[in-house]
Amino acid sequence: MIETPLILAWPLITAQLLIFGTAAFALVAGFSEIPVRDGAPDSLVTFWRGLALVILIISPLRFLSVAAGMADSTLREVLPFVPQIIRETFAGRVWAWRLGVAAMLAIAAWIPSRRILPALMCTISTMLLLAQSLTSHAVDKGASAIAIHFVHQVAAGLWLGALACLLIGATYGGASAEWLGWATGRVSKIAGWSVAVLVVTGAIRAWYAIGLHFELLLYSLYGRTLLWKLATAGAVILIGGYNRYRLVPALGEASARATLIRNVTAECLLLGAVLGWSALLTNTPPPH
Amino acid sequence: MTTLKMCISAVGLAIAMSIACVASAHSFPESETPSAGQKVATTPSEVTINFDAPIEKLFAKLEVAGADGKNEAAGAPQISDDGRHLSVKVASLKPGDYTVKWAVVGIDTHHTEGSYTFSISSGGS
């Protein structure tokens, strides 16, 4: 059997969450309205366009990979059966819809209006997150599991997006104490809520996967991957806590601002690694 | 206090949304007819496997092989509307041991497969 390559799943999941999270932050926090140098909002638009292109290019490849996995064949062998898979399977129908949404996202990213762009990016990427949930392990368990998976993704996207916006703003919009003070307050609030939701929905998802058989955390590939994901996410939370309680009160000092930006970069990279574990989990059968 | 409220709200949200029971993932048999290892006195008209999650009809395979390895299934496997019951009609089976081989793709796109045996006693018809 051909497993769906991680090399396609990881960038797709990451791009979807980043575009959703940054657009949501821009929408809710009014990123384009803040009094910083003009570079930040434009950088965000360029960022969205890049992510939209990544999603547009990778989505069909990922679908082909999934279809090949279902048909237990190679990418080339499955090509003639793609229309049948789209017509006759649930995943095929969701993917057909998902590919259309990916195209819509790429078109919308080039709309010149800065006012409606965050709302458009947020809305369309939300549809992609829903499609992701509908093609996950959660679909086996019905509507409630899909809803939990979706909420988990939304929380992860908000967390990652808020940190990415902070990083983009600090890099392209100037890392003044005033701006960082404004941004870190919002990012901290979003991150706190997101982590709380992620802990709860993550626990429920783990319960769906392994029930109360905690030994499976150690004695199954799925369980061990989940533990690595938790450990990496735990490291991000520790860094976030240090930022919030040690660095933010000292933002008046240039060294604290520099350390904060460096730590936020590390958080973003570690969250990328968390998404790598998540992508691996999507391709790993939960223990039975 | 704010953190406590936040946690309670998140727990409430998740619990409110979660009404499903704990279950294993992917599509695996919950029960079979005839069941695994069962010795039946009469020839079954069909072999049925009930799965714990929906499966895709397009990729469902179900074979009933006798001792000589010949597939005794009469026609293509059928799937119920809810996608959880896979069955195939079988011809009149002679007494002996039979191996049921199944392979499915769940609606989560993942493969599962397996086999089990049942037997028909010499008094079967």
Q: What is the DSSP code (8-state) at residue B42?
A: S
Shortest distance between the Cα of B66 and any Cα of chain A, in A, equals 26
Stretch B107-123: mean pLDDT: 88
B48: β partners: B33, B87
Contacts of B13 in chain A (CB under 8 A): 151, 197, 200
Instruction: Count Cβ atoms below 10 Å from residue A37 Cβ, excluding itself.
Output: 12
Q: Is B23 in Cβ contact with A141 (below 8 Å)?
A: yes
Q: In a 3-state reduction of DSSP, which class is residue A285? A: coil
**Any CB–CB contact under 8 A between B1 and chain A?**
no
**Any CB–CB contact under 8 A between A9 and chain B?**
no
Q: In a 3-state reduction of DSSP, which class is residue B15? A: helix
The minimal CB distance from B24 to the residues A147, A193, A286 is found for: A286
Rounded-to-integer distance, Cα B48 and Cα B46, Å: 6
Cα A103 to chain centroid, rounded: 19
Is the pLDDT confidence value at A2 over 50?
A: no
**Any CB–CB contact under 8 A between B29 and chain A?**
no
**Any CB–CB contact under 8 A between A288 and chain B?**
yes
Is A256:A247 a contact under the CB 8 Å cutoff?
Answer: yes
Is B88:B33 a contact under the CB 8 Å cutoff?
Answer: no
Encoded tokens for A261: 């930006």
Supply φ then ψ for residue A151, to 5 degrees.
-65, -40
Rounded-to-integer distance, Cα A226 and Cα A137, Å: 14
The minimal CB distance from A204 to the residues B14, B28, B56 is found for: B14
pLDDT tens-digit series, residues B21-30: 333 457 889 9
Contacts of B19 in chain A (CB under 8 A): 144
Instruction: Count Cβ atoms below 10 Å from residue B123 Cβ, excluding itself.
Output: 9
Q: Is A197 in Cβ contact with B14 (below 8 Å)?
A: yes
Nearest one of B22, B25, B46 to B34, comparing CA atoms: B46
Shortest distance between the Cα of B59 and any Cα of chain A, in A, equals 7
pLDDT tens-digit series, residues B53-106: 899 999 999 999 998 889 999 989 999 999 999 999 998 888 999 999 999 999
Cα B92 to chain centroid, rounded: 22
ipTM of model over 0.85: no
B79: β partners: B86
Give the nearest chain B residue to A88 (CA atoms).
B58
Shortest distance between the Cα of A2 and any Cα of chain B, in A, equals 10
Supply φ then ψ for residue B111, to 5 degrees.
-80, 145
Q: What was the pLDDT predicted at A173?
A: 65
Rounded-to-integer distance, Cα B2 and Cα A211, Å: 31
Q: Is A141 in Cβ contact with B20 (below 8 Å)?
A: yes
pLDDT tens-digit series, residues A140-176: 888 999 999 999 999 999 999 999 988 888 877 665 6
Rounded-to-integer distance, Cα B36 and Cα B118, Å: 6
